[in-house]
A and B are shown apart, each in its own frame.
Chain A
Amino acid sequence: AQTVTQSQPEMSVQEAETVTLSCTYDTSESDYYLFWYKQPPSRQMILVIRQEAYKQQNATENRFSVNFQKAAKSFSLKISDSQLGDAAMYFCAYRSEITDKLIFGTGTRLQVFP
């Protein structure tokens, strides 16, 4: 069975600085997708970025980028030029190629200080 681990329950960053959130996963599948979701206080689930396992190039979306290390099964999220609006819970997620099931980590709460 697949698992997703986020080992940082909480992180903090100063406005305009860069922060990296860690995520590791375990799977025996060869092709899959990985995601980062943001959950602000409203509890809405917002897709931040996605990465397909067979693509070696790391995905980027404006200030958000990932460091995808397939062999190490690591998928970290880097937020550059952090803004107050980035404060939220961030979930790493894995989508199975066999079941379409989306498996979440336990989340990292990010605080952004002015």
Chain B
Amino acid sequence: EAQVTQNPRYLITVTGKKLTVTCSQNMNHEYMSWYRQDPGLGLRQIYYSMNVEVTDKGDVPEGYKVSRKEKRNFPLILESPSPNQTSLYFCASSQRGRGNTIYFGEGSWLTVV
């Protein structure tokens, strides 16, 4: 079954404690991306990757890091989380090409206190 898997799904953490949200897809997709969803703001792109070792900033990259060492994995790293990073995070993947279906993970609820 085609899927994008994110972990953890729910996390409460404290300010400054580094955390990683993992994302894995089983469809051999080149394109992967991270979004955050906040009330009234829709989904905003954090980082994206066109292929292994190729990553670029989205609209709201501050405070986040990513890496793409393998095609299937695209972890999101919060080196020093702050309360303004409390949000719902989505990982997404697709084949390159604008019409291709974009698959989303189930979302990760992150609360930073």
Contacts and interface: CB of A to CB of B under 8 A. Distances in A.
Interface of A: 4, 6, 9, 31-33, 35, 43-45, 47, 50, 52, 91, 95-97, 99-107
Contacts, number: 55
B58 A105 contact: no
**Interface magnitude class on chain B:** 20 to 34
B96 A107 contact: no
B42 A101 contact: no
A33 B100 CA distance: 9
B106 A44 contact: yes
Contact of B104 (A6, A33, A44): A44
B98 A96 contact: yes
Interface in B81-113: 88, 90, 92, 94, 96-99, 101-102, 104, 106-107
A52 B100 CA distance: 11
Contact of B106 (A31, A35, A43): A43
Contact of A100 (B90, B97, B101, B106): B97
B48 A91 contact: no
Interface of B is mostly: strand
Interface of B: 31, 33, 35, 40-45, 48, 50, 58, 88, 90, 92, 94, 96-99, 101-102, 104, 106-107
Interface of A is mostly: loop
Given A43-B107, A44-B104, A100 B96 contact: yes
Contacts of A31: 98
Nearest to B96: A100
Contact of B40 (A45, A47, A103, A106): A106
B1 to A, nearest CB: 15
Residue with the highest number of chain B CB atoms closer than 10 Å, among A52, A95, A96, A100: A100
Given A33-B98, A43-B88, A50-B99, A103 B45 contact: yes
Contacts of B98: 31-33, 52, 95-97, 100
B107 A47 contact: no
A84 to B, nearest CB: 23
